[in-house]
Amino acid sequence: MEKPVAGKCHKEVWFGILVSFVLCFTILCFDYSTSMLGVYNGVNLLVRRVHPYITRDSCYGRYIYVHDDLPAKFNDDLLKNCQNLTTGSKPKNSDTQNMCRYIVNLGLGPEIEEPEGVLANESWFITNPYLLEVIFHNKMKQYKCLTNNSNQASAIYVPSYVGLDASLHLWDFNLTVRDYSGKDLVGWLSGKPEWKKMWGRDHFMVAGRTSWDFRRQKENSSDWGTNLRVLPESMNMSMLSVEGSLWKNDFAIPYPTNFHPANDSDVVQWQNRVRSQKRPFLFTFVGAPRPDMKDSIRGKLIDQCQASSNCKFLHCGSSGINCNNPVTVMRVFESSVFCLQPPGDSHTRRSTFDSFLAGCIPVFFHPATAYTQYLWHLPENHTKYSVFIPVKEVEDLKEGIIEKTLLGISKHEELAMREEVIRLIPNLVYADPRSRLETEDAFDLAVQGILGRIENVREVIRERKDPSIGFGDEDNFKFTFPETPE
């Protein structure tokens, strides 16, 4: 009677060993990342531990979760009602064309049908820079490290078209109307479970307008902008826009140009083209004066250009000159060695990126036009790709100083700078969202930048420090001239 009992015990022991072996094998074969939820100062931090002997996932640290459940009123509905959106910085009226023409081709705009020998291939579109947020969203849909698991994500993208939305009410004297959508957006976000992981500090959004358009500080209807970026929830988020403000949670990324390559060969062909261009003009300025802006240097800059036989001035305010036509602008830039880039209505200009695209060396007069803005896209050593003539006050732009400075640059230095400008072209353009390049474009570098930014915040939390300190503080360095001339 003893043998059946012993046999049964024997089988149970072996069954236990087998179960243990299977469990151990499963644990070892599983991506040995365990998620531990640490809490510090009310911030939930996802900490991943990776087994040293297992190769990391190629997307580890780069996963992005997209709020695809964002109500359509914050994005798609705006495009459906494109007739209500203005194409520029002025309120819509009967003389202002709406945005409908420009939202085609995933926000790139209509293809250019008559390049007139100025544009080399079919990757050119009439792109409205205010559609950056739409282009970025469509690029994000093709991002190779998307995840549906927000706990796996290193960053959370909010696909709200805040710039297009703001343009509907920026000129409204009723502040409740002007600010309503922003409050509605952050209210929706802060109610989501993803928000509570880091209380929004892993969230980011993109705007096709300058950050200043969302930074109204006072409850005064005569002051410009909405108050989106001064709302407590929004202050915990990062914004990528064409121009950053004083605050450290605003980051500048390039204005969209009209060149959106579909493959790497398009980029190489264009680089070769601008490298071989003959450039009869030493310098050029494309733009219009700003007589109503007393601090603008454009009037004196135009005077110096017109006084020189080495300069070409394209007056964008003149009858018959359409500077919204890429062919018009690129023809002039491609024929010039240097392109003058003074501040416009704000410190930055889309024209800066047009000049890079044309292989024309930019000349800056204020550090906030490029140097302290596009930190993820331009080299820290700006002397490699540009010329800087510091002008703090209008009076600092002495007569003849521009031509004198540019004539003092040797041919060797000029060639080196132009080669660097041409090398930077892939970094500064947004490739067609319907394709994917082998090389990194402006979108890729922006994503890398924001992932690094959020990882730095996580590191602060791991060190048991307060992540709110310094996150959204002012940074006056962005708009300060260097102490000594360079």
State the Cα–Cα distance between residues 364 and 452, nearest whole angstrom: 28
Strand, coil or helix: 367: helix
Distance CA 20, CA 18 (A): 5
* Cα 374 to Cα 253: distance, rounded to the nearest angstrom: 6
Residue 32 has a pLDDT of 36
Average pLDDT over residues 466-472: 92
Determine contact, residues 158/140, Cβ cutoff 8 Å. no
**pLDDT tens digits, residue range 300-358?**
999 999 999 999 999 987 888 888 889 999 999 999 999 999 998 899 999 999 999 99
Closest of 467, 471, 485 to residue 405, by C-alpha: 485
Lowest mean pLDDT segment, chosen from 45-49, 95-99, 112-116, 396-400: 45-49
**How far, in Å, CA of 114 to CA of 112, rounded?**
6
Instruction: Return the pLDDT at 386.
Output: 98
User: In this predicted structure, what is the pLDDT of residue 28?
Assistant: 45
Reduced to 3 states (helix: H, G, I; strand: E, B; else coil), residue 60 is coil
Q: How confident is the model at residue 21 (pLDDT cuts 50, 70, 90)?
A: low
Of the pLDDT bands very low, low, confident and very high (cuts 50, 70, 90), residue 407 is: very high
Nearest to 330 by CA among 355, 305, 307, 364: 355
User: Is there a contact between 348 and 294 (Cβ–Cβ < 8 Å)?
Assistant: no
Helices (H) and strands (E) in the chain, counts: 14, 12
Separation between Cα atoms, residue 348 and residue 343, nearest integer Å = 6
Structural domains for the chain? 64-255+435-479 (no CATH), 278-428 (3.40.50.2000)
Residue with tokens 């409908």: 100
- Whether 14 has a pLDDT exceeding 90, the answer reads no
pLDDT band at 410 (very low <50, low <70, confident <90, very high): very high
pLDDT tens figures, 75-117: 999 999 999 998 876 766 644 578 999 999 999 999 998 888 8
pLDDT digits (tens, 9 = 90+) for 444-467: 999 999 999 999 999 999 999 999
Q: How far apart are CA 385 and CA 353, in angstroms?
A: 12
